[in-house]
Amino acid sequence: MRLEIVIPCVEYDDFLRLTLPTNLQSGGKITVLTSRRDARTIALAQFFRTELFLTEAWWFGGPFDKAAALNRWLDAVSVSARDTWVMALDADILLPFNTPIRLDTLDPTFLYGAKRRMCAGETAWNDFVQGKRTIETFPLDVTPVRHGRVWGNRPTSNPAALCGYVQLWNPVCASGSRRFPLSGTAALYDVEFGLSFPEDHRGYLPGFEVLHLGRGGTNWAGRKTPRWVNAHVVNRREASTPLRVGVNLR
């Protein structure tokens, strides 16, 4: 089994520098998907020796067409083998420590997501890195279903895997779409993609919770929230001080 992880990242390098060292332990091959304009993200990917995929499709269909950029990567990477899985993973998501994803236990026709906990600020993150709090102390954020709908207008009884911060699927065997529907912003493509899978073919990865850094629901049309500048890096020798992205990387 092979896992291809693609991390879309435009102006999210402040989060990527915190999540990437841990996420590299997932057992998958990681590609950072960004723009030629984003020198910080490019430098960071090169520092951690991950694959880089550069495209300007982010702005072709709207103010931030994340789906178009992801589709450019899907078109270019070899995902035609039945044993290949793909995970779209946001740069501000921290996967569980030392928890490789057991692809052999998953149904290849399914779309999988993960339950997330929210870490809104740098102080809370630094407490987590320093061992002062555990992931269970962060609030759990799961899309609620009310009257058979999510977000008030999407009919479904199953909220799993509808949000693009983590979506895992097998492009060959999937019972839903193989590509992301076009969307001018990062707001809707993931939901439409998720709803293309039957209700009973979407689920949460069992025993697998992720940590979301920063505020949610605000950067649909590109980065608007303040950068994290004093956040400590986890699982690195210099964890007691921030990793400065710039000329001192090499």
pLDDT tens string 125-152? 999 999 999 999 999 999 999 999 998 8
Task: Find, among 223, 188, 204, the residue nearest to 92 by Cα.
Answer: 223
Residue 222 amino acid letter: G
All structural domains of the chain? 2-249 (3.90.550.10)
127 vs 133: CA distance, rounded Å? 6
Is pLDDT above 90 for 248? no
Q: Which residues contact 204 (CB under 8 A, 6 or more apart)?
A: 112, 113, 114, 115, 160, 161
CB 26 within 8 A of CB 106: no
Q: Give the global pTM.
A: 0.92
Q: At a CB cut-off of 8 Å and minimum separation 6, what does 32 contact? A: 7, 9, 16, 20, 41, 44, 45, 50, 51, 52, 53
| pLDDT given at position 86 | 97
Q: Is 97 exposed, middle or buried (0-12, 13-18, 19+ CB in 10 A)?
A: exposed
What DSSP string runs through 65-115? -HHHHHHHHHHHS---STTEEEEEE-TTEEPPTT----GGGS-TT-EEEEE
Contact predicate 190/180, CB 8 Å: yes
| pLDDT tens digits, one per residue of 192-244 | 999 999 999 999 999 899 999 999 888 998 999 999 999 999 754 433 333 33
pLDDT of residue 217: 84
Contact 239, 125 (CB under 8 A): no
